[in-house]
Chains A and B, each alone.
Chain A
Amino acid sequence: MAELLIKNGFVFDPLNGINGEKMDIAIRNGKIVKKVHEHRVKTIDASGLTIMPGGIDIHTHIAGGEVNTGRIVRPEDHVKDAVSKTAITRSGTGYSVPSTFITGYRYSKMGYTTVMNPSMAPLEAKHTHEELNDIPLLDKATYPLIGDWWFVLEYLQKGDLEGCARHVAWMLDTTKGYAIKIVNPGGLESWGFGHNVHSIDDQVPNFCITPREIICGLAKVNKMLNLPHSIHLHTNNLGLPGNYVTTLETMKALESVPYEGRPVCHITHLQFSSFGGDSWGNMRSAAEEISKYINNHSHMTFDMGQVIFTDTTTMTADGPFEYTLYQLSGHKWVNGDVETETSGGIIPFHYKRSNAVNATQWSIGLELALLIDDPWKMFLTTDHPNGGPFIAYPRILAWLMSKNARMATLKRCHKKAQKKSLLPSINRELSLYELAIMTRAGQAKALGLKNKGHLGVGADADIAIYNINPETTDIARKYKTVRRAFKHAAYTIKDGKIVVKDGEVVGHVDGRTMWLDVQTAEPCTIDEDMKSKFKQYWTVEYDNYPVYDHYVKVKDPITVKANV
């Protein structure tokens, strides 16, 4: 395999504490090495350019049943964004729900190399992996939805955490998943009967259990299994005015789970969980309350779920929330119920500057990112495509690094939202080092990806090079230049191969699919009792259910030694 040398770039590698130092990076066989023979290898002259590890997205809906249904209901989303094939790339369509190939190309053009698909109904696991196989240039993994899975609820109800842990280990292997995803715990099970839960102490119908017990139980299970990522939580009451109280309660409840130096939970798209007020009329930002708590505690990580003013498609397993959105917008609505596993919903949604609630949401996302002091806790996402398509990341980076940029957008927002926004009082402007944490290093750390998110010896050679000279550019004032640079990476290197040059895709790599191979004391199998339940409750036979290894095109199992 080819060797590569990147010379004289300004390197930002927060995991190794490197902040803009000029240095060379050597690559051999897809890994970063100490040095290569300078005269024999291909060299990239990166003088005057910024070098970062390849971008990592901790939460982006890019594959699976929901995404595909989103594609089906949105022909108008495809007609406005059609992409022709080139000699190297394939054709495709889609703005907010792009086709698989386009997803890979567009991420790669922004310098991203690893993405995580956060919501997979276990029954849709095969479908999800087929789509992941088709997404080029990126390493990917997916989180199965476990929070409302009947058997998990039964184990937790009995207080049998060990049994639950073994069952979850079996689930992760069966679905080839990477982390425990919990969406509106208890609420999705209730939604099967037309109800929802409204606080973390509400009883889940038909189960003698509360959301608090589900969240804390699975967080403990996560610890017992030694999973690299914490539980990945979409909170109860998401997207409703006044829900910040539920979010604070959830975070306090998780204090009971032993911290042991590693986060116990990742609350995703925090913006949607930080609404104040008690109705849509007086909905306000609760970023102050939330960020105050987060600055004083360190047992959790978060991502933004930033809203972009554009026409997008919302999709989540949180069926009852999508119903609320349907009542608000009257737009075409897809409602789904995946047997005993989870629910789902899809609504196209247009976030508008002229709408006070939407503009406040936009403000909340940025307020949170800026008020939370430690960038290792708060990562950049749009919850693609719920807050907006991922191609808007460079715009969010501009808002974070430049007060001028965000004030220019705020000025065009609804007057009521402008008055309530905290943004005018926040002077913080993030540096490239902090942005590198929010977009790659922090995410790699939270996900427990040892070979990603840094440029130390032995790391995967996933590298993004941007056309920014940190010595001569004042990024806060020249935010438009920096935004352009982040939109079109000068180079993206995946596994040591140049795949993007000057914002155009020039190479092809399939990208690996990661999953956890959890090794427990006894092998985790499913007993006869469960198999008979399969016959009773599922539309598929048990033998057709698991995702076998041959389903995954480029395999990258990560072995984890569990304590059970």
Chain B
Amino acid sequence: MITLTPLRKFTFPVQAECISPDVFQGKDTAEIAKLPVYEGNKPKKLSDLFKIEEDGAETPSITINGDVSEVRRIGQGMKNGEIVINGNVGMHLGEKMAGGKITVNGDACQWAGSSMKNGLIEVHGNAGDYLASPYRGVSEGMRGGKIVVDGNVGSDSGAYMRGGLIKIKGSNIGQFLGFHMRDGIIHVEKDASTRVGTNMTGGKIVVSGKIDEVMPTFTIDNVKPKVKIDDTESAAGPFYVFLGDLAEHGTGKIFVSKANNPHLKTYEKYL
């Protein structure tokens, strides 16, 4: 196991895509120390910014102790292994990751799990905007894997999603959740805000708490007693099922808790 400890507080963004179990594998601390990173526009070595220690433990592969909220692209493209971050972490955490596990005991910034293909990301604090969403302009979002956020998330999360599962346990969620979603499941255990599922053409968004509004381009389909989330879990209802986004000829589904949303009762007359 490699333990990284930041030597100081970073004031400029640090680009550190080299912090990944796949890159560290088979390298000793001297080699890891030489890995290239950028601090602002200055090329540096990893050892210029972090104290690097190694011990014999097998898992997790990498532990980062301390605030790394300015360090970006940790675990980018990782295929296996495990990273534990004890502190806040910067943007693009686990971007395009294809396997392994990342645990954040703190908050994650924007674009965590961006376009990920497989693996697991657990954020025990809050996550920023664009959780699991692709980089601007790209239309290929999250394809598989799982993201669990214990706290709140920002806006535009799960955009262009094509598979996988996102579980959000906080009650403060930004707008445009599941924007342009094509497939996969987003489960919001508490409340969601507005413009959920805009432009979605497929997939499921489950809101177990209160939802501020359902977009007018969605139509009510039926009421279901429960929804399957994954192989082991299902959410208890009853749920209103909305179909949309009709502006995109979509067949996505938004499941909204009946008990927590009395303001949607008017939709029942269209059933």
Is B137 interfacial (CB-CB < 8 Å)? yes
Nearest-CB distance from B38 to chain A (Å)?
12
Is A477 interfacial (CB-CB < 8 Å)? no
Nearest-CB distance from A78 to chain B (Å)?
9
Is B139 interfacial (CB-CB < 8 Å)? yes
| Cβ < 8 Å to A, chain B residues 111-137 | 134-137
Is A75 in contact with B139, judged by CB distance below 8 angstroms? no
Nearest-CB distance from B43 to chain A (Å)?
11
Is B139 in contact with A331, judged by CB distance below 8 angstroms? yes
The range of chain B's interface size is under 10
Is A74 in contact with B139, judged by CB distance below 8 angstroms? no
| Cβ < 8 Å to B, chain A residues 133-166 | none
Q: How far is the CA of A79 from the CA of B136 in the complex (A)?
A: 9
Which residue in A73, A75, A332 is a CB contact (below 8 Å) of B135?
A: A75
Is A73 in contact with B137, judged by CB distance below 8 angstroms? yes
Is B139 in contact with A79, judged by CB distance below 8 angstroms? no
**B residues in contact with A77, CB < 8 Å:** 137
Is A529 interfacial (CB-CB < 8 Å)? no
> In this complex, what residue of B is CB-closest to A331?
B139
Q: How far is the CA of A76 from the CA of B137 in the complex (A)?
A: 5
Q: How far is the CA of A73 from the CA of B136 in the complex (A)?
A: 10
Is B138 interfacial (CB-CB < 8 Å)? yes
The 8 A CB mask of B83-102 against A (1 = contact, 0 = none) is 00000000000000000000
The range of chain A's interface size is under 10
Q: How far is the CA of A73 from the CA of B139 in the complex (A)?
A: 12
Q: Which of A74, A76, A77, A331 has the most CB of B within 10 A?
A: A76
The 8 A CB mask of B125-160 against A (1 = contact, 0 = none) is 000000000111111000000000000000000000
**B residues in contact with A75, CB < 8 Å:** 135-137
**A residues in contact with B139, CB < 8 Å:** 331-332
**A residues in contact with B136, CB < 8 Å:** 75-76
Q: How far is the CA of A77 from the CA of B134 in the complex (A)?
A: 13
**A residues in contact with B134, CB < 8 Å:** 76
**A residues in contact with B137, CB < 8 Å:** 73-77, 79
The 8 A CB mask of B155-196 against A (1 = contact, 0 = none) is 000000000000000000000000000000000000000000
Nearest-CB distance from A96 to chain B (Å)?
12
> In this complex, what residue of B is CB-closest to A75?
B137
Q: How far is the CA of A79 from the CA of B138 in the complex (A)?
A: 10
Q: How far is the CA of A79 from the CA of B135 in the complex (A)?
A: 9
| Cβ < 8 Å to B, chain A residues 55-90 | 73-77, 79
Nearest-CB distance from B2 to chain A (Å)?
29
User: Which secondary structure dominates chain B's binding surface?
Assistant: loop
Q: How far is the CA of A74 from the CA of B138 in the complex (A)?
A: 8
User: Which secondary structure dominates chain A's binding surface?
Assistant: helix
Q: How far is the CA of A416 from the CA of B1 in the complex (A)?
A: 53
Nearest-CB distance from A478 to chain B (Å)?
36
> In this complex, what residue of A is CB-closest to B249?
A330
> In this complex, what residue of A is CB-closest to B136?
A75
Nearest-CB distance from A83 to chain B (Å)?
15
Q: How far is the CA of A75 from the CA of B139 in the complex (A)?
A: 11
Nearest-CB distance from B156 to chain A (Å)?
15
**B residues in contact with A74, CB < 8 Å:** 137
Q: How far is the CA of A397 from the CA of B135 in the complex (A)?
A: 35
Nearest-CB distance from A154 to chain B (Å)?
41
Q: How far is the CA of A423 from the CA of B139 in the complex (A)?
A: 34
Nearest-CB distance from B195 to chain A (Å)?
19
Q: How far is the CA of A528 from the CA of B134 in the complex (A)?
A: 55
Q: How far is the CA of A79 from the CA of B114 in the complex (A)?
A: 14
**B residues in contact with A79, CB < 8 Å:** 135, 137
The 8 A CB mask of A317-353 against B (1 = contact, 0 = none) is 0000000000000011000000000000000000000
**A residues in contact with B138, CB < 8 Å:** 76
Nearest-CB distance from A381 to chain B (Å)?
27
Nearest-CB distance from B59 to chain A (Å)?
33
Q: How far is the CA of A77 from the CA of B139 in the complex (A)?
A: 12
Nearest-CB distance from B133 to chain A (Å)?
13
Q: How far is the CA of A79 from the CA of B139 in the complex (A)?
A: 14
Q: How far is the CA of A79 from the CA of B140 in the complex (A)?
A: 14
Nearest-CB distance from A79 to chain B (Å)?
6
**A residues in contact with B135, CB < 8 Å:** 75-76, 79
Q: How far is the CA of A79 from the CA of B134 in the complex (A)?
A: 12
Nearest-CB distance from B145 to chain A (Å)?
21
**B residues in contact with A331, CB < 8 Å:** 139
Nearest-CB distance from B240 to chain A (Å)?
28
> In this complex, what residue of B is CB-closest to A77?
B137
> In this complex, what residue of A is CB-closest to B138?
A76
Q: How far is the CA of A544 from the CA of B104 in the complex (A)?
A: 58
Nearest-CB distance from A311 to chain B (Å)?
11
Nearest-CB distance from A131 to chain B (Å)?
21
Q: How far is the CA of A326 from the CA of B136 in the complex (A)?
A: 20
Nearest-CB distance from B140 to chain A (Å)?
9
Nearest-CB distance from B73 to chain A (Å)?
13
Nearest-CB distance from A325 to chain B (Å)?
15
Nearest-CB distance from A315 to chain B (Å)?
15
Q: How far is the CA of A332 from the CA of B138 in the complex (A)?
A: 10
Nearest-CB distance from A392 to chain B (Å)?
22
The 8 A CB mask of A164-199 against B (1 = contact, 0 = none) is 000000000000000000000000000000000000
Q: How far is the CA of A331 from the CA of B136 in the complex (A)?
A: 14
Q: How far is the CA of A76 from the CA of B134 in the complex (A)?
A: 10
> In this complex, what residue of B is CB-closest to A78?
B137
Nearest-CB distance from A72 to chain B (Å)?
10
> In this complex, what residue of B is CB-closest to A72?
B137
> In this complex, what residue of A is CB-closest to B248?
A330
> In this complex, what residue of B is CB-closest to A74?
B137
Q: How far is the CA of A75 from the CA of B136 in the complex (A)?
A: 6
> In this complex, what residue of A is CB-closest to B140?
A76
Nearest-CB distance from B187 to chain A (Å)?
27
Nearest-CB distance from B28 to chain A (Å)?
30
Q: How far is the CA of A302 from the CA of B139 in the complex (A)?
A: 36
Nearest-CB distance from B261 to chain A (Å)?
32
Q: How far is the CA of A75 from the CA of B138 in the complex (A)?
A: 8
Nearest-CB distance from A70 to chain B (Å)?
12
Nearest-CB distance from B13 to chain A (Å)?
16
Q: How far is the CA of A77 from the CA of B137 in the complex (A)?
A: 8
Nearest-CB distance from B180 to chain A (Å)?
10
Q: How far is the CA of A14 from the CA of B94 in the complex (A)?
A: 56
Nearest-CB distance from B258 to chain A (Å)?
34
Nearest-CB distance from A3 to chain B (Å)?
42
Q: How far is the CA of A74 from the CA of B139 in the complex (A)?
A: 11
Nearest-CB distance from B105 to chain A (Å)?
30
Q: How far is the CA of A331 from the CA of B138 in the complex (A)?
A: 11
Q: How far is the CA of A79 from the CA of B115 in the complex (A)?
A: 14
Q: Which of B134, B135, B137, B139 has the most CB of A within 10 A?
A: B137
Q: List 15 A-B contacts (CB under 8 A).
A: A73-B137, A74-B137, A75-B135, A75-B136, A75-B137, A76-B134, A76-B135, A76-B136, A76-B137, A76-B138, A77-B137, A79-B135, A79-B137, A331-B139, A332-B139
| 12 new A-B contacts at CB < 8 Å, known A74-B137, A79-B135, A331-B139 | A73-B137, A75-B135, A75-B136, A75-B137, A76-B134, A76-B135, A76-B136, A76-B137, A76-B138, A77-B137, A79-B137, A332-B139
Q: Which 10 A-B pairs have the closest CB atoms?
A: A75-B137, A76-B137, A76-B138, A75-B136, A74-B137, A79-B135, A76-B135, A73-B137, A76-B136, A75-B135
